[in-house]
Structure 1
Amino acid sequence: MTVEKTRPDGIDLTEWEFWERPLEERHAAFRTLRGLPRPAFFREPEMSFLPAGPGYYALVTHADVVEASRRSADFCSGQGAININDMPADLGEYFGSMINMDDPRHAKIRRIVSRAFSPRMIQRFEDQVQATAEQVVEEVLAKGGGDFVTDVAARLPLKIICDLMGIDERHYKTVFDNTNVILAGADPEFVPDEPDQVALQLLEAGQTLKDLVEELGRQRRDEPTGDLISALVNANIDGESLTDQELGSFFILLVVAGNETTRNAIAHGLHLLTENPEQRELLASDFERYIPGAVEEIVRYASPVIWMRRTATRDTELNGHEFKAGDKLLLYYWAANRDETVFDHPEVFDITRDPNPHVGFGGPGPHFCLGAHLARREITVMFRELFRRAPGIRATGEPDRLLSNFINGIKHLPYAV
């Protein structure tokens, strides 16, 4: 099977320079890629601590992303889902969570994890979300303004995840700082100047989080306390439970996915509602009616996770495109959520958009986001409290965006009440 490997001039998704471009230029580039007769091919990044492989195809249409997500047997996650270059074993120890697994092992781990989210646990985190949102808004009102990311967007999901896991408040900063390192991309605020130090920094961040949760796991096996760690380490499916390594990797996945992505959705939400006052007024006019659509539109428009990788397990075809076994494919949710053939006027932020079949929580299939319900709940409750008690809150400047090709992050966002 001969597969054409081409890309248009002037577009290189591998270069950090591309991700430094203004948003509109990047969206225009993805429109160009969606118009190509087949997925474009790009070289892999050159990194001092990861060997460069043969390259990858960029799936940028909604149809391609959805189909590849659905066909997990043909396009697997087990060879790496969150990295373009193949991950060395020492990094895989920390970041080899179930997001990088395939069935049947993935299904078994997911069942163990899902079993821990009992109705009692779900009710517990919903009560905690409400209480935490109330506390955050109380402090916002007293302060009157500042950095929305650190004052609001980051605080809610961080506290919820840590409280659910049974992690004491004194460790919040450790979790927050090391999560930032793991998802730093190429941002100079978090990444060392020396390329050789990047791998060391990632290893140290992963080890710190892993050590923290493994110690708690050992304690909870002997003395369970009713938190999520207790449920996870004592869960048993078909005679199996999570190993210490699996618990550590799952925790890293949980704090990264459950903390970073939700906080970015909340930060993007305030920015979008400030930039689109007519949508803000509509939401305020009947909050309970419009907030479900607003949450989905924030997630679509922002697409906090830009892509995930899959690898072809055999020679196969996807929507008329041929791929060979071993080919790497990046599923660009960021691009699929702007697909003109699926979304009318995709560049418009519209909280009444219906239908809204976005892939902001991943495409259909076994890797659809396990925490989607919690994320939706957190975003809803946070904005309900803000609209109820701080109805004048608004962004007062442009967001300071994370330099990353993986997370559409906002590092800082000035605001006033």
Structure 2
Amino acid sequence: MNPTDSASAATRRYHRLDISQPAFWARDFRTRDEVFAQLRAEPGLTWHAPPPAFFPHDEPGFWAVTRHRDIAQISRHPELFTSSLGISLDPMPVEVQRPTTFFLMMDPPQHTRYRRLISSAFTPKQVRRIESQIRDNAAEIVDEFLTDLRSGQPTDFVDSLSRKLPMRTVSDMIGIERSDREGVAYAAEAMFSSSDEEYASLEERATFFMTQFGILHGAGTDLAQRRRQDPRDDLMSAIVEAEVDGHRLTDEEIGAFMVLLASAGNDTTKQTTSHGFKALVDHPAQREWLLEDFDARIGGAVEEFVRWATPVIHFARHAVTDTEVAGTRIRAGEKVVMFYCSANRDETALDAPHIFDITRGPNPHSGFGGGGAHFCLGAWLARMQIRLLFHELLTRAPEVVLGEPEYVHSDFVHGIKRMPVRLA
């Protein structure tokens, strides 16, 4: 048991390795993981200071959960670790988190009901329609990318390719008008990346964050109201009509789902595409191996793209009662933060985790969460988009040279803001 376990949260000593400050998250992924590797090697969990916050708070700190097996344990026991008290590493009022995260801050059985409601809208007909739209969009986006690439002008892989498919998918699925798509896409990206100085200073972040939330939430509630009056053959109409055990989603709830879909469903797939393509360019033999039998091999490759990218760095839970994880006593109400970025480089769970390997199998990564009730609802959609986009990209694009990526400064998203690309 850790020597600090008996201390109260207010007097417990913080770990010597500081993973809370913005300076830590400004380091590259591999350098950060050298610190996480030290934390994984520690007995039990480690206690850390709360990060600098743009909302007033009285949080004393958090337990860092860095090992794959411990994240799985917490994820699969919502009766011991609740989502309802907040899921953010950054100190943020529950009143702010709840409307911006929809059912991510719910526990079973409430979470189960809402998950069933959303899932019921994805009928086989809707899924076939979505797949057809994604296939068409992927071909069109690669056409546009190749035109940009051959123009001789500087081309940014993120702007020209990886950011386009997820937002078009979301827009087509729920029926966002073309004139509104750029504004919605920016709001989604900015919410995920609001800790980056390019979007807002520390003093401005609370207002900036809530402004982007308002744009997304307003777009969802407005669209829901219009679909109630004028149903169409799209996902939003299906969500409006969805019913489970006599319960339907309100316009406010649909607005909250819109925030979740547009932000989580957009940025995560975008980042996996960017990181995955960079890894293939850096490992040309693996690209060749994949292309030798693309249909049979892309499934495993997508899992490695997600593991390698780990686009979502963490989520938090709070202990419901006094309990124990890895020999560390966790008191009721204390925050535990599950660092998926660390779990996906855990040598005890994965062979040679610092090596990019699309032949990896098994691949029990935590890129879609640690399992349990909150396993990513949109995992199937992300996999479908990545599979169809990489088919177009790898079978049609010529050899390219990538410049140095510019990364998002964030403790939540492992993101690439820009990545120059040119013909080889």
Superposition map of 1:13-412 within 5 A = 13-89=19-95, 91-92=96-97, 94-144=99-149, 146-191=155-200, 193=201, 195-392=202-399, 394-412=400-418
Q: 2: CA distance between counterparts of 1:101 and 1:88?
A: 12
Q: 2: CA distance between counterparts of 1:254 and 1:387?
A: 27
Which shows bigger deviation, 120-129 or 229-238? 229-238
Q: 2: CA distance between counterparts of 1:390 and 1:286?
A: 17
Code of the aligned partner of 2:261: L
The answer to whether the Cα contact below 8 Å between 1:261 and 1:304 also exists between their aligned partners in 2 is: yes
Q: 1: CA distance between counterparts of 2:384 and 2:347?
A: 29
Offset at residue 50 of structure 1 (A): 3.6
Which shows bigger deviation, 105-114 or 46-55? 46-55
Offset at residue 6 of structure 1 (A): 5.1
Q: 2: CA distance between counterparts of 1:189 and 1:53?
A: 27
- Structure 2: which 5+ residue stretches go unaligned? none
Offset at residue 76 of structure 1 (A): 1.0
Offset at residue 86 of structure 1 (A): 3.8
- Say which SS state the counterpart of residue 97 (structure 1) adopts: helix
Offset at residue 2 of structure 1 (A): 2.3
Code of the aligned partner of 1:341: T
Offset at residue 355 of structure 1 (A): 0.7
Q: 2: CA distance between counterparts of 1:93 and 1:8?
A: 30
Code of the aligned partner of 1:51: H
- Say which SS state the counterpart of residue 337 (structure 2) adopts: strand
Percent identity between the aligned chains?
38
The answer to whether the Cα contact below 8 Å between 1:157 and 1:378 also exists between their aligned partners in 2 is: yes
The answer to whether the Cα contact below 8 Å between 1:50 and 1:88 also exists between their aligned partners in 2 is: no
Q: 2: CA distance between counterparts of 1:52 and 1:401?
A: 31
Per-residue CA deviations over 1:189-232 (Å, capped at 9, x if unaligned) read 111x3x33211111111111111111111111122112111111
Q: 2: CA distance between counterparts of 1:184 and 1:84?
A: 13
Offset at residue 301 of structure 1 (A): 1.2
The answer to whether the Cα contact below 8 Å between 1:397 and 1:414 also exists between their aligned partners in 2 is: yes
Q: 2: CA distance between counterparts of 1:200 and 1:186?
A: 12
- Say which SS state the counterpart of residue 187 (structure 2) adopts: helix
Which shows bigger deviation, 251-260 or 181-190? 181-190
Q: 2: CA distance between counterparts of 1:6 and 1:360?
A: 31
Q: 2: CA distance between counterparts of 1:299 and 1:40?
A: 26
Offset at residue 298 of structure 1 (A): 1.0
Normalising to structure 1: TM-score of the pair?
0.95
Offset at residue 88 of structure 1 (A): 4.8
Code of the aligned partner of 1:171: D
Offset at residue 319 of structure 1 (A): 3.5
Q: Cα RMSD (Å) of the superposition?
A: 1.6
Q: 2: CA distance between counterparts of 1:28 and 1:83?
A: 20
Code of the aligned partner of 1:352: T
Normalising to structure 2: TM-score of the pair?
0.94
The structure-2 alpha-carbon separation of the partners of 1:52 and 1:268, relative to structure 1 and needing over 3 Å to count, comes to farther
Q: 1:2 aligns with which of 1, 6, 18?
A: 6
- Structure 1: which 5+ residue stretches go unaligned? none
Code of the aligned partner of 2:341: W
- Say which SS state the counterpart of residue 317 (structure 2) adopts: strand
The answer to whether the Cα contact below 8 Å between 1:306 and 1:333 also exists between their aligned partners in 2 is: yes
Code of the aligned partner of 1:247: I
Q: 1: CA distance between counterparts of 2:76 and 2:380?
A: 20
Code of the aligned partner of 1:33: L
Per-residue CA deviations over 1:47-78 (Å, capped at 9, x if unaligned) read 23241401100100001001110111101111
Q: 2: CA distance between counterparts of 1:289 and 1:398?
A: 32
The answer to whether the Cα contact below 8 Å between 1:46 and 1:52 also exists between their aligned partners in 2 is: no
Offset at residue 93 of structure 1 (A): 5.8
The answer to whether the Cα contact below 8 Å between 2:76 and 2:370 also exists between their aligned partners in 1 is: yes
Offset at residue 135 of structure 1 (A): 0.3
- Say which SS state the counterpart of residue 242 (structure 1) adopts: coil
Offset at residue 163 of structure 1 (A): 0.7
The count of aligned residue pairs is 412
Offset at residue 391 of structure 1 (A): 4.0
The answer to whether the Cα contact below 8 Å between 1:59 and 1:331 also exists between their aligned partners in 2 is: yes
- Say which SS state the counterpart of residue 262 (structure 1) adopts: helix
Q: 2: CA distance between counterparts of 1:50 and 1:244?
A: 30
- Say which SS state the counterpart of residue 144 (structure 1) adopts: helix
